Amino acid sequence: MLLIIWALMGISAVLPMWAAIIKATRQLGDSNVQGRLFGILESGRSLVPMLYCFGVIALFNFALTKVGTEEKALNFGIVALCCLMFFSALLIWVAFKPEKREAASLKEQATVVKWSEIKFVLRLPGVWLLALIIFSSYLVYICLSFITPYTTEIYGASTSTAAVLATIRTYGIGIFGAMIAGFIADKAGSTTKVIAISFVLIAGLLMSFFLAPVDKGFLWLVIVLMLLVAFVVFIPRGIYFAVIDEIGIPIKYTGAAVGVASFIGYSPDMFAYAVVGNWLDRYPGISGFHHAFVFMAGVSLAGFVFAAMLYRHIKKKAAE
């Protein structure tokens, strides 16, 4: 039963909501502010989970002192999360009023994706390149989790230190990194160009791990490199959906474009952990981590190629 509930939660939370969130964010402003809108969205997606995780933990500990059992305390936390979801839905229903950027009919503004819309976006080269950009960015992002055991196994960081670093890398950096990336993209006038440059920086920083002396006294250097990599990784991650506007996809097809790009872009979840984990098992010590760093750097360079191709495609389309 728990597996069924968990599956239904995934379906209800992802299928109807993800494309709608991206589409709603896009409708909040014109083309000049798409970068900052999506940067702020990603910053919020880092800040809010961190806050409610701390909040639920606090509620759990409070409930535990009152009800006496962990099971009842957990139920209390789940109810609190349900109330939070209900309040969030009510707030969005009342407060969200997107700008009408196109004189489109209500039918065109609907968030229900039709098969005809999917077929339309599948014919767009820009959507495929965006999907590959997301694929590259997300693959590097999830592989950053392997830097945590790198700090403990190779540089002797304590478990508690590694946990704090993982939290900062996953949530703390994203709060600021994605937002800054959004403003940079708007200032530069091209989200795609900023993404392309960021991929090159990511590759360079990842290869910098090879230059760090393998000595526990240089743990601080590895931490600095890790935080720098995490910051730059949040640049493409924070703004890649702003590319939808840069490609020139009509609002009507936003949901379909997001669906196609996300299906391909987030597929690394299915294999990345197994692949890198296998390397760490086959090549003990620092060698396995070096394989991971080279792999991530290679993926970043591939992301640069995809972003450069998309930038050229956008420029060519604008010149026609």
User: Is the separation of the CB atoms in 206 and 296 below 8 Å?
Assistant: yes
Predicted local distance difference test score (pLDDT) of residue 102? 45
Nearest Cα neighbor of 134 from 37, 253, 42, 27 is: 42
Query: For 242-273, how does the pLDDT look when each residue is reduced to its tens digit (9 = 90+)?
Result: 999 999 998 889 888 998 999 999 999 999 99
Predicted local distance difference test score (pLDDT) of residue 143? 95
Within-domain flag for 159: yes
Predicted local distance difference test score (pLDDT) of residue 268? 94
Within-domain flag for 61: no
pTM (2 d.p.): 0.85
CATH code for position 126? 1.20.1250.20
Within-domain flag for 75: no
Within-domain flag for 195: yes
- Gap between the Cα atoms of 198 and 220, Å rounded: 24
Domain residues for 161? 31-47+114-319
Q: How much is the mean pLDDT over the chain?
A: 87
Within-domain flag for 181: yes
- Helix H, strand E, coil C: the string for the chain is CHHHHHHHHHHHHHCCCHHHHHHHHHCCCCHHHHHHHHHHHHHHHHHHHHHHHHHHHHHHHHHHHHHCCHHHHHHHHHHHHHHHHHHHHHHHHHHCCCCCCCCCCHHHHCCCCCHHHHHHHHCCHHHHHHHHHHHHHHHHHHHHHHHHHHHHHCCCCCHHHHHHHHHHHHHHHHHHHHHHHHHHHHHHCCHHHHHHHHHHHHHHHHHHHHHCCCCHHHHHHHHHHHHHHHHHHHHHHHHHHHHHHHHCCCHHHHHHHHHHHHHHHCHHHHCHHHHHHHHHHHCCCHHHHHHHHHHHHHHHHHHHHHHHHHHHHHHHHHHC
Q: CA-CA distances (angstroms) from residue 101 to 32, 44, 94, 167, 286?
A: 13, 24, 20, 38, 53
Dmax (CA) of the chain:
70
Q: CA-CA distances (angstroms) from residue 225 to 151, 214, 238, 314?
A: 11, 14, 20, 33
- Gap between the Cα atoms of 289 and 210, Å rounded: 10
- Gap between the Cα atoms of 138 and 264, Å rounded: 10
* pLDDT over 80 at 34, yes or no: yes
Within-domain flag for 69: no
* Beta-carbon-side half-sphere exposure of residue 140 (alpha carbons within 13 Å): 34
Q: CA-CA distances (angstroms) from residue 70 to 54, 62, 150?
A: 17, 11, 33
Query: For 140-168, how does the pLDDT look when each residue is reduced to its tens digit (9 = 90+)?
Result: 999 999 999 999 999 999 888 888 888 88
Query: For 82-112, how does the pLDDT look when each residue is reduced to its tens digit (9 = 90+)?
Result: 888 888 889 888 887 655 544 444 444 455 5
In this structure, which amino acid lies at residue 62? F
- Gap between the Cα atoms of 242 and 38, Å rounded: 6
Within-domain flag for 20: no
Predicted local distance difference test score (pLDDT) of residue 97? 67
Predicted local distance difference test score (pLDDT) of residue 264? 94
In this structure, which amino acid lies at residue 144? L
What domain count does the chain have?
1
Tokens encoding 53: 């995780």
Within-domain flag for 264: yes
308 versus 9: which is more confidently predicted?
A: 308
- Gap between the Cα atoms of 50 and 78, Å rounded: 16
13 versus 249: which is more confidently predicted?
A: 249
% of the chain at pLDDT higher than 70: 93
Predicted local distance difference test score (pLDDT) of residue 147? 93
* pLDDT over 90 at 297, yes or no: yes
